[in-house]
Structure 1
Amino acid sequence: MARIGPRFSRSEPRERVRDYVAGLLSGLQRKNSWWIAEHAGESSPDGMQRLLRKARFDVEAIRDDLTGYVSERLGEADGVLILDETGFVKKGRASVGVARQYSGTAGRIENSQITVFAAYASAKGHALVDRELYLLKDWTEDPDRCAAAGVPAERIAAGTVTKPRLAQVIIERADDAGLPFQWVTADAAYGSAKYLRFWLEQRDQFHVLALRGKDDVVIGFSQPRAQAVIDDLPERAWQRLSVGAGSHGPRRYDWARVPVRWAWRPGRGHWLLARRSITDPTKIAYYICYGPRRSSLTDLA
């Protein structure tokens, strides 16, 4: 709190944000303004709501402070930047970015906000470090609505930005901030965007990105689907590996990889990676990988 304190020009929000964060870190059953205000000894949620809705502070500077803090406390040369989106179900139309759209949180099309998040992970721990709100055309084509909700002018001018493009913004920002990460990971919503993969490769940024089975990969001069390539593998190509501890013990899967692309730059390699469930071999996940030529199957897994 001492680090981010200067981002608040007034003492009241500076003190209240400390109580708000303490509430988030507490064992409260619910983390809304009512519960957090009571935890802080306040008689009503008005102050907490005012902090979140109207208080003026430098949000982007606080994000940079957080990135610096995570880099100092958790930073490792082989760190991983993890990109994923989260949906926040909403009832009304006023929340910025809210629209009827698919929400993975709800598992269906729902009135919600969608935000692309970045987490940083190393052997020392993990933490969220950045976020970008996704805006559909319902918003970007209505400047007045955006302005009323406080959307920055430069974001309005940019129009609709895809989620993989938002991921690029986040990755670039983390890199510029000096956050030490060797690998980038994301699910198929990002891995299926070829322009994101090309951009990462141009930056020589190692990555393991999920693919859909129907996505094509380059094998020599052909472009078969990922699923077809893995289906043709003999059983001896699979290795059983543990990729860390889960809530029910070691997370064990069968893994296999196939070299892809016909030309590799010196010291670098490209692979199609597959993860197969031990209990249900029909459940297979696919990943496109770019990294050091000597990367082992365990490294990629």
Structure 2
Amino acid sequence: MEPMAARLGKDGNRQALAHFITSSPWDPAQVRARPAWRMHEAIDPEALIIEDTGFLKDGGASACVSRQYTGTAGKVTNCQVGVSLHLVHDHASAAVNGRLFLSASWDPASPDADVDKVARRGRCGIPAQAGHVEKWQLALDMIDETRSWGVGVPLVAADAGYGGAAAFRHGLEERKLPYEVGISSRDTAHPADARIVQPAYAAPDGHRECSTPSLHRA
């Protein structure tokens, strides 16, 4: 809103513009698609990066605000979290899609729903059908939407917050998209043909017989 208001000069009213955009009946997909087309042509992207950002808040009136972890603060704190997609090249980048993360506390269908937050949904303009969706699923949904605009995705890159979700990686593979994602140092891997076996173990006299499962190639 600030750049738009500045271009309008003395006729620019940031607050009025904010209310106008917030209450607009336009399809937001069309608003997002136009800059995505322009930036795709201007940047000639080498990758699509998935990122989430925390917007720190003091109060609880903003839509989807709750106590949750954000890398912005490096801790659990009161904030909103937005998931975004960025077209990138080594010389430039541009955000082309985004979603506000709705935590389970804002979802009336969730067992973790907060009564006060659910009561504020209408005042915040949250659609009745909007529920809690994991961040990795938001990312996949936005990738599908961005591709539907005709914006090519040469490579998907994300940190371990997304790469650690097997369903996210499988979703990219189902879409036949190449990817580079982070994983936790605690993750393990084994050959696809490995099978869990539990060989018999003969314990020394006086001890209970037991066995230890291990991975073996089929």
Report the TM-score range of the alignment, normalised by the length of the smaller protein: 0.7 to 0.9
Tell me by how many angstroms 1:85 deviates. Answer: 0.4
Unaligned runs of 5+ in 2: 109-116, 196-216
> For residue 123 of structure 2, what is the aligned residue in structure 1?
148
> For residue 84 of structure 2, what is the aligned residue in structure 1?
117
Root-mean-square deviation (Å): 2.6
Cα distance in 2 for partners of 1:218, 1:205 equals: 23
Q: What do residues 254-278 of structure 1 show as CA deviations (whole Å, max 9, x unaligned)?
A: xxxxxxxx9xxxxxxxxxxxxxxxx
1:1-301 alignment runs, 5 A limit: 20-21=2-3, 40-41=9-10, 47-55=13-21, 56-57=23-24, 58=26, 59-76=28-45, 79-122=46-89, 125-141=92-108, 143-155=118-130, 159-222=131-194
TM-score scaled to structure 2, two decimals?
0.75
Secondary structure of 2:120's aligned partner: helix
> For residue 287 of structure 1, what is the aligned residue in structure 2?
none
Cα distance in 1 for partners of 2:87, 2:53 equals: 16
Tell me by how many angstroms 1:138 deviates. Answer: 1.8
Cα distance in 2 for partners of 1:173, 1:98 equals: 25
Unaligned runs of 5+ in 1: 1-16, 24-35, 224-261, 263-301
Instruction: State how many pairs are aligned.
Output: 185
Change (3 A) 1:97 1:115: same
Tell me by how many angstroms 1:221 deviates. Answer: 4.2
- Higher percent of residues as strand: 1
Cα distance in 1 for partners of 2:52, 2:182 equals: 14
Counterpart AA for 1:154: Q
Cα distance in 1 for partners of 2:151, 2:44 equals: 7
Q: What do residues 43-65 of structure 1 show as CA deviations (whole Å, max 9, x unaligned)?
A: xx9x2122223444333321111
> For residue 199 of structure 2, what is the aligned residue in structure 1?
none
Q: What do residues 107-151 of structure 1 show as CA deviations (whole Å, max 9, x unaligned)?
A: 111110001011001356311101111111221125542221011
What is the identity percentage for the equivalent residue pairs of Structure 1 and Structure 2? 28
Secondary structure of 1:217's aligned partner: coil
Higher relative contact order (CA 8 A, sep 6+): 2
In 1, are the aligned partners of 2:85 and 2:142 still within 8 Å (CA)?
yes
Secondary structure of 1:218's aligned partner: coil
TM-score scaled to structure 1, two decimals?
0.56
Change (3 A) 1:222 1:213: farther
In 2, are the aligned partners of 1:188 and 1:209 still within 8 Å (CA)?
yes
In 2, are the aligned partners of 1:75 and 1:179 still within 8 Å (CA)?
no
Tell me by how many angstroms 1:22 deviates. Answer: 5.6
Secondary structure of 1:110's aligned partner: strand
Cα distance in 1 for partners of 2:80, 2:90 equals: 32
Cα distance in 2 for partners of 1:180, 1:70 equals: 12
Secondary structure of 2:54's aligned partner: strand
